[in-house]
């Protein structure tokens, strides 16, 4: 190779190093939530209590994992087994009480977690339109993406539908995922 050829190769290499590159394709950022939970247990549980603790643990682990995988929501939750509670209830203070073992499932845990986040328990719930139609723009846009241009979230003093997971018959993997996304949108709307 001649000195001239060597100089051309070196010049081409230098140009290649300084040539502009195509911009990198944007990457989708998935923000994962940081919901956490703990179970208050009796020191020496009875067989009934231990069965309830096992069911609650399974339900809460599944529900918290779904919320953390699909949302950026944050909450610290304390679960209790309270046999006097007919089904289950959730409070904005982060407490969930499970009563009936028939209600100790992922659907119930997802639903009650939404109450700890503010669904039906936040002072802003009524101002966002419940009893009636939820007025938040992000929530409305999302339900319309799922169900068409005229879709809306209907709500009362404590619950919403569709995707509120108010009854076991409403549960499916798709509805559970959409429930989490709707609750997150409600929070973005000011819940």
Q: Is residue 125 part of a domain?
A: yes
- DSSP-derived letter for residue 76 is E
- Taking the C-alpha atoms of residue 77 and residue 164, their distance in angstroms, rounded to an integer, is 19
- Taking the C-alpha atoms of residue 186 and residue 164, their distance in angstroms, rounded to an integer, is 12
Residue 88 near residue 97, CB atoms below 8 Å:
yes
Q: Which domain, by its residues, includes 54?
A: 34-188
The CA dihedral of 133, 122, 164, 107, to the nearest 10 degrees, is: 180
Instruction: Locate the DSSP E strands across 94-142.
Output: 95-98, 132-133
Q: Is residue 29 part of a domain?
A: no
- Longest CA–CA separation in the chain, Å: 93
- DSSP-derived letter for residue 40 is -
Q: Is residue 119 part of a domain?
A: yes
Total tally of structural domains belonging to the chain: 1
Q: Is residue 26 part of a domain?
A: no
- Per-residue buried b or exposed e for 51-61, using 16+ beta carbons within 10 Å of the residue's own CB: ebbebbeebbe
pTM for this model (two decimals): 0.83
Q: pLDDT in tens for each of the 191 residues of the chain?
A: 444 344 433 343 333 333 333 333 333 334 567 999 999 999 999 999 999 999 999 999 999 999 999 999 999 999 999 999 999 999 999 999 999 999 999 999 999 999 999 999 999 999 998 879 999 999 999 999 999 999 999 999 999 999 999 999 999 999 999 999 999 999 999 99
CB-neighbour burial class of residue 179 (10 A; exposed 0-12, middle 13-18, buried 19+): buried
- DSSP-derived letter for residue 185 is H
Residue 161 near residue 154, CB atoms below 8 Å:
yes
Q: Is residue 23 part of a domain?
A: no
Q: Is residue 6 part of a domain?
A: no
- Taking the C-alpha atoms of residue 27 and residue 38, their distance in angstroms, rounded to an integer, is 34
Q: Is residue 179 part of a domain?
A: yes
Length, in residues, of the chain: 191
């Amino acid at each position: 190779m001649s000195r001239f050829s060597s100089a051309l190769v070196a010049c081409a290499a230098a140009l290649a190093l300084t040539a502009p590159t195509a911009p990198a394709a944007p990457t989708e950022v998935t923000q994962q939530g940081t919901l956490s939970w703990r179970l208050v247990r009796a020191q020496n549980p009875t067989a009934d209590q231990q069965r309830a603790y096992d069911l609650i643990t399974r339900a809460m682990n599944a529900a918290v994992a779904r919320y953390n995988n699909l949302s950026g929501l944050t909450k610290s939750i304390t679960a209790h087994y309270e046999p006097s509670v007919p089904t289950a209830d959730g409070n904005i203070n982060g407490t969930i009480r499970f009563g009936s073992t028939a209600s100790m499932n992922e659907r119930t845990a997802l639903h009650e977690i939404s109450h700890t986040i503010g669904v039906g328990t936040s002072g802003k719930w009524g101002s966002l339109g419940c009893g009636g139609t939820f007025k938040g723009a992000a929530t409305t846009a999302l339900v319309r993406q799922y169900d068409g241009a005229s879709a809306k979230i209907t709500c009362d003093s404590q619950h919403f539908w569709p995707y509120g997971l108010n009854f076991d018959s409403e549960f499916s993997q798709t509805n559970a995922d959409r429930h989490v996304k709707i609750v997150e949108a409600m929070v973005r709307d000011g819940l």
